[in-house]
Amino acid sequence: MPITITAFAQSPDRGRGLARDMRVRWALEEVGQPYAVRLLSFAEMKQPEHRALHPFGQIPTFEERGLALFESGAIILHIAESHAGLMPANGPARARAISWMFAALNTMEPPIVERSLSWLVERDKPWFAERQAMLDERVRVRLGELAGHMGEASWLDDGFSAGDLLMVTVLRRLDGSGLLDAFPTLTAYVARAEARPAYQRAFADQLAVFARAQAGNPFTPPN
């Protein structure tokens, strides 16, 4: 049985590759593993059948020969440990790559996601502008620290790794916010990662899902 992952049947990101299946698709492309995608509606994600794979009723999940995983970070770690291409062989470099995976998910992603969620659910509140300025500043501080670490380097450590893959998918959540623009090191970093053939294939595949959904459903959700 091929690897099977789950993704949104109709992603609210409108094909921008911002949902977390994108990082799993990209990782599988980087290591050259074919995979199938099971597309789920929001209602299907909450059914017992899917909750048996994902206790929180979300995407992505990963299934391979009787192993079922949820949590994108755990899935990427599993892929990186099972195949060459995303994890340095050298012990200390491997440990540092894993540190960067955690940094992406535990240090960078929370303020970035909190900012996006605030825009989604709080933008009609009278205090929104004040709160958004505070959330923007929190994100800016982290971006500055990350840019400071990177300097002129191409990748976070010695060569592209699962740490970069996760970090770039997290930074891409800032798409449209303008916040990355103040950090040319980071915009170049994201562009460098997006130019990778594996990223391009993964992006094209998730975009094709959106395009097919649109063809069957002329309604275009608001941006």
CB atoms within 10 A of CB 113: 12
The whole-angstrom separation of Cα 192 and Cα 195 is 5
Q: Residue 102 CB, nearest distance to ligand GTB (Å)?
A: 12
Q: Residue 54 CB, nearest distance to ligand GTB (Å)?
A: 8
Q: Residue 34 CB, nearest distance to ligand GTB (Å)?
A: 21
Which residue number places its CB atom closest to ligand GTB? 58
Tokens in use for 170? 């997290």
Closest by CA position to 201, among listed 61, 7, 17, 69 = 17
The whole-angstrom separation of Cα 111 and Cα 189 is 20
Q: Residue 134 CB, nearest distance to ligand GTB (Å)?
A: 22
Whose Cβ is closer to ligand GTB: residue 39's or residue 150's?
Answer: 39
Whose Cβ is closer to ligand GTB: residue 78's or residue 147's?
Answer: 78
| Angle CA 82–85–89, to nearest 5 | 75
Pairing of strands 35-40, 67-70: unpaired
Whose Cβ is closer to ligand GTB: residue 18's or residue 87's?
Answer: 18
- The residues facing 64 across adjacent strands are 67
The whole-angstrom separation of Cα 26 and Cα 202 is 5
Q: Residue 89 CB, nearest distance to ligand GTB (Å)?
A: 26
Whose Cβ is closer to ligand GTB: residue 153's or residue 211's?
Answer: 211
Whose Cβ is closer to ligand GTB: residue 20's or residue 115's?
Answer: 20
The binding site for ligand GTB (CB under 6 A) comprises: 12-13, 18-20, 42, 45, 57-60, 71-73
Phi-psi region of 135 (alpha: psi -120 to 50; beta: other; left: phi over 0): alpha
